């Protein structure tokens, strides 16, 4: 029997209750180290995602996507996804960094019940910056890759797209539930590529390493784990947690920093991935990998730029380029891609001053 509010015949979401014993503290590496089998979370998500693909819940059928690493030191991962470029829902009109939620526009209370795969619930109390009581894992109907989902905290509350510490902590816990080295999370803020002004995170599997996982960073505020990540496609502020014990504080610090950016009239994107400590791969040798969270400050951008080969949001900033056209995929160079990415970012002197401001904010 269909649950209340569901259409007859639609599959029901599964309650996925987890505790700290489900966290994969030493996730699989790219070399296929021991422990690389999918976790309970990976199996539940991917099996249900594939089921919805077979049932026709997506806007297009996603097969293997042409992928190549662009020559150059940044190791940008380019991927051709023509159907996402042509079939996805047009982005909402965003005109302000503080635009309120509009119930008349498309939002996630309108998705079909069958689009929801899982209801994530943490067993027992979680402490400060506690995750939402229930986090919905729903398909992205226009997927980037296999397993591309949205994490939705209590959609009925109608929260705008401004990152909160409980949502970020819940997303980081989801990252620790996965054993896949390429399970990534991200947030596009208003004026920074957000296409729906309703609070959500993206999560997806990408089967390629990215430079942002391993590049060393310059310390800015060591007691709070804040560093500046340079030598990557888009310089970012880096936060790091070695394991689940540090997630609540990390989530609060990232959101305090993001709030500071918004108050200064800047847009922001966030990206989370398993990665090395801020000191880089050499520092990881003693204690393994944890979670890296990158925060990008950028000039607000409202609407798509005419003539641009791609829009710049969390994926592109991290070095992953989903491209909508075969000629661009075939011909784009690292230098061209970096120019397109970096024109949205702050000049280096402004970025360095902002880093000093954030260090003072968090230290205080």
Flag whether pLDDT at 86 surpasses 60: yes
For residue range 279-297, list pLDDT tens digits in order.
876 665 556 789 999 999 9
Sorted by where each begins, the domain ranges of the chain are 14-363
Write out pLDDT tens, residues 14-72. 999 999 999 998 866 776 554 468 999 999 999 999 999 999 999 999 999 999 999 99
- Judged by DSSP in three states, 184 sits in strand
- Annotated catalytic residue 344: no
In this prediction the pTM is 0.94
Q: Which CA distances in Å does 68 have to 72, 78, 256, 321?
A: 12, 5, 37, 10
Which residue among the candidates 198, 200, 202, 344 is catalytic per the annotation?
200
268 and 296 Cβ atoms separated by less than 8 Å? yes
Give the lowest-confidence range in 21-30, 172-181, 309-318: 21-30
Residue 252 and residue 129 in contact, taking contact as beta carbons nearer than 8 Å: yes
Instruction: Evaluate the CA torsion angle 310, 315, 318, 321 in order and state its sign.
Output: negative
Please provide the average confidence, as pLDDT, over all residues in the chain: 91
Handedness of CA 237, 242, 247, 249 (dihedral sign): negative
Interhelix angle 247-263/348-363, rounded to 10 degrees, is: 130
The CATH code of the domain at 14-363 is: 3.30.428.70
Q: For residue 196, what are the contacts with CB-CB under 8 A and spacing of at least 6?
A: 91, 92, 106, 107, 108, 161
């Amino acid at each position: 029997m269909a649950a209340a509010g569901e259409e007859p015949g639609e599959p029901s979401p599964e309650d996925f209750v987890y505790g700290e014993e489900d966290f994969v503290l030493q996730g699989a590496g790219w070399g296929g180290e021991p422990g690389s089998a999918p976790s309970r979370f990976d199996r539940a998500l991917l099996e249900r995602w594939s089921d919805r693909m077979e049932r026709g819940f997506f806007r297009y059928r996603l097969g293997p996507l042409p992928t190549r690493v662009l020559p150059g030191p940044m190791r940008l991962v380019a991927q051709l996804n023509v159907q996402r470029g042509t079939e996805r829902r047009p982005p909402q009109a965003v005109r302000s960094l503080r635009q309120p939620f509009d119930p008349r526009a498309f939002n996630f209370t309108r998705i079909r019940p069958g689009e929801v795969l899982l209801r994530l619930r943490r067993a027992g109390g979680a402490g400060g910056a506690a995750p939402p009581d229930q986090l919905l894992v729903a398909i992205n109907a226009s997927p980037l890759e296999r397993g591309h989902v949205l994490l939705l905290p209590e959609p009925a509350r109608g929260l705008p797209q401004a990152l909160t510490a409980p949502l970020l902590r819940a997303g980081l816990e989801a990252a620790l539930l996965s054993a896949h080295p390429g399970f990534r999370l991200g947030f596009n803020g208003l004026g920074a590529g957000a296409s729906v002004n309703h609070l959500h995170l993206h999560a997806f599997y990408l089967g390629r390493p990215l430079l942002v996982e391993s590049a060393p960073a310059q310390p800015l505020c060591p007691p709070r784990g804040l560093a500046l990540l340079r030598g990557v496609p888009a310089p970012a502020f880096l936060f790091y947690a070695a394991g689940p014990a540090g997630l609540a504080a990390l989530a609060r610090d990232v959101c305090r920093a993001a709030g500071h950016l918004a108050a200064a009239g800047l847009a922001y994107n966030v990206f989370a991935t398993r990665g090395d400590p801020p000191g880089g791969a050499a520092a990881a040798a003693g204690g393994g990998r944890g979670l890296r969270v990158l925060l990008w400050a950028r000039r607000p951008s409202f609407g798509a730029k005419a003539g641009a080969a791609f829009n710049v949001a969390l994926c592109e900033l991290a070095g992953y380029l989903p491209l909508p056209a075969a000629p661009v995929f075939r011909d784009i160079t690292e230098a061209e891609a970096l120019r397109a990415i970096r024109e949205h970012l702050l000049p280096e002197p402004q970025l360095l001053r902002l880093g000093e401001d954030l260090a003072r904010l968090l230290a205080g």
